[in-house]
Structure 1
């Protein structure tokens, strides 16, 4: 099977269930993937054999979109090509989620460390705060307030 046959079958199967924008996004994703693999030195036949039947891929995409929304399974990211042009690509959702959750984990770790340091500072200063409070209370009592 050639790339053209692969895309024809993929587009045909996707067109039964998805709108043109969704079909084009999915075809662009696989076109980008295949071209990238060929650019890395793999043969077209090798890449297409690895991907398998385009109808099965299309059915998996349709099932994913029906289960999770219009962009289920993929999120859009921007990538710059060698000549500086902006090439719109898609990446699997797990990668996008990993980036988001990783960022959240780093932020939570920073918050944890800051809270730990503040807590240690308060614990370290607590005796001085208690003594100062007791002295102020005694002074108020002596002055009759």
Structure 2
């Protein structure tokens, strides 16, 4: 477990070919009040996503950016954060945030194994995603105004 308590600054920055990689039996939980920036490398693990977690603890706003091939596999719980996924960045797992922006060929894939994950608590877990459908072409038109595109 790592705790970065200071707000209003960049607390984690993984840049260029930098990586955080976990062994198959390892777990890591990071509590971060400042901003997080991952570019050109990443935090990608071939483990269950609940083994790597980022908890955004900012009381006001916070930024979590994945730019230019920033990779991530895990759980992000940052209810006050704006998450940006840009360029060839690829996220896998789950995200709870204030808002999320995907641009370029950035992608996010929800891991269905997290549907009943309750963490280290006795709660029943997060809301379950029961259906996902990607809209294409003319199907998207009625919804574009909601996303300011």
TM, length-normalised to structure 2: 0.19
Higher strand proportion (structure 1 or 2):
2
Higher helix proportion (structure 1 or 2):
1
TM, length-normalised to structure 1: 0.20
The structure whose Rg is larger is 1
Higher relative contact order structure (alpha carbons within 8 Å, sequence separation ≥ 6): 1
